Amino acid sequence: MLMGAAITGWGVALPSRELRNDELAESLPVTAKWIRDRTGIEMRRIAGPEDSASSLAITAGHAALTRAGVEPDDLDLVIVATSTPDYQLPATAPLVQAALGAEKAGAFDTNAACSGFLYGLAQADGLIASGTARKILFCASDLLSRVSDYTDPSSCVLFGDGAGAVVIERVDGESRLGPFVLRSDGSGAGLLRIPSGDPFLRMEGREVYRRAVDAMSRSVNEIVERAGMKLDEIDLVVAHQANARIVEAVGQRLGLRPDQVALNIARLGNTSAASIPLALAQASDEGDLENGDHVIITAFGAGFVWGAALVRWGAPIDGQNELVLAGEMNV
């Protein structure tokens, strides 16, 4: 029997503190309007001293498990995508595994920067397809405020903190995840980096913008071609929420309708690997994403690493053609 993978539940976690543009601009040589006009961001969530990549992942992961109806003890794997781990060693995923009580699960981290959710989803799909796992908890959690230089308006105005998690399970029939396009070009590593010995992220914004728009647009077109579909058959494109101008430029280059493009960066900022699951959650809550919809996710991150994937939203109920989803997000 053909076996595939599907997202059966999800959860999110956001720090309680809101940092608005007017407050941020007080210590910068720019105005709140300057920030909004160039990024589309009005506010972002900022982690407090009690927050960490693991704590946010634990909260989001618990919500995802509850809504999927999966017990922690039933998990085969816990995967965490993060660029801001609690420690250099050990990985963050075992901390999440232990806190949730997933005693039978293996655990590992993956780091593809802002493309972390896309790359981790591909890993989870492959692990299920190979028979290695049946149930996987995949969390994407980043606290980029911890590596932001708040004297540098070219970068610090972009970033916020948050986490999103999904439960991925084996299902009968074709996989609802994929095809995937995964690409990289390490020649651009110096354009978006955290140098050794420097605690802060450094970025060449204009070149990153140009490359991000081009790479994500090409990846979406490649996914549509591989899937044998047309762009007007895609219900929603969820791009990494790097900057509203980047997301809008991708939509325009692809000729998408505004209602086909998810955009939630105004209140959350760029949350790195967490941005796509957070955007999926909000789109579902607001009715922009419904059970059975065809979604393309696409991302571009430091490395550079980028790509896209087709996702059929929801999971089949046994013996039926209906779909089931669970989740709730308040922003």
Note the pLDDT tens digit of each residue in 228-252: 999 999 999 999 999 999 999 999 9
Mean pLDDT of all residues belonging to the chain: 92
Provide the β-strand partners of residue 46: 17
- Identify the active-site residue in 21, 114, 156, 243: 114
The 10 Å Cβ neighbour count of residue 13 is 25
- The per-residue pLDDT for range 71-81, each reduced to its tens digit, is 999 999 999 99
Residues 40 and 265: beta-carbon distance below 8 Å: yes
Task: Give, in order, the Cα–Cα distances in Å from 38 to each of 33, 157, 244, 303.
Answer: 8, 10, 8, 24
The 10 Å Cβ neighbour count of residue 191 is 17
pLDDT band, very low/low/confident/very high, at 45 (cuts 50, 70, 90): very high
105-128 in b/e form (b: 16+ CB < 10 A) is: bbbebbbbbbbbbbbbbbbbbbbb
What strand order describes the sheet that includes 177-184? 177-184, 305-312, 294-301, 236-239
- Identify the active-site residue in 21, 111, 243, 270: 270
- The per-residue pLDDT for range 241-280, each reduced to its tens digit, is 999 999 999 999 999 999 999 999 999 999 999 999 999 9
pLDDT of residue 326: 37
pLDDT band, very low/low/confident/very high, at 198 (cuts 50, 70, 90): confident
Task: Give, in order, the Cα–Cα distances in Å from 133 to each of 73, 226, 311.
Answer: 13, 26, 19
| Residue of 226, 244, 132 lying closest to 182 (CA atoms) | 226
| Residue of 132, 81, 112, 80 lying closest to 182 (CA atoms) | 112
Q: Is the pLDDT of residue 173 over 90?
A: no
Task: Say how far apart CA 296 and CA 291 lie, in whole Å.
Answer: 14
Percent of the chain with pLDDT over 90: 80
Looking up tokens 């976690």 gives 13
CA dihedral 262, 263, 267, 270 (to 10 degrees): 100
- Give the angle 319-322-326 at the CA atoms, nearest 5°: 115
Please, what sign has the CA dihedral across residues 102, 105, 111, 113?
negative
Task: Say how far apart CA 286 and CA 43 lie, in whole Å.
Answer: 20
- Give the angle 207-210-211 at the CA atoms, nearest 5°: 85
Q: Is the pLDDT of residue 294 over 90?
A: yes
- In order of their start, the domains of the chain are 3-172 (3.40.47.10), 177-324 (3.40.47.10)
Burial class (CB in 10 A: 0-12, 13-18, 19+), 247: buried
Quick check: pTM over 0.85?
yes
Burial class (CB in 10 A: 0-12, 13-18, 19+), 33: exposed
Is 139 considered catalytic here? no
The 10 Å Cβ neighbour count of residue 234 is 20
- Identify the active-site residue in 21, 240, 243, 264: 240
Check residues 285 and 76 and name the one with the higher pLDDT: 76
Is 270 considered catalytic here? yes
Percent of the chain with pLDDT over 70: 94
Q: Is the pLDDT of residue 1 over 70?
A: no
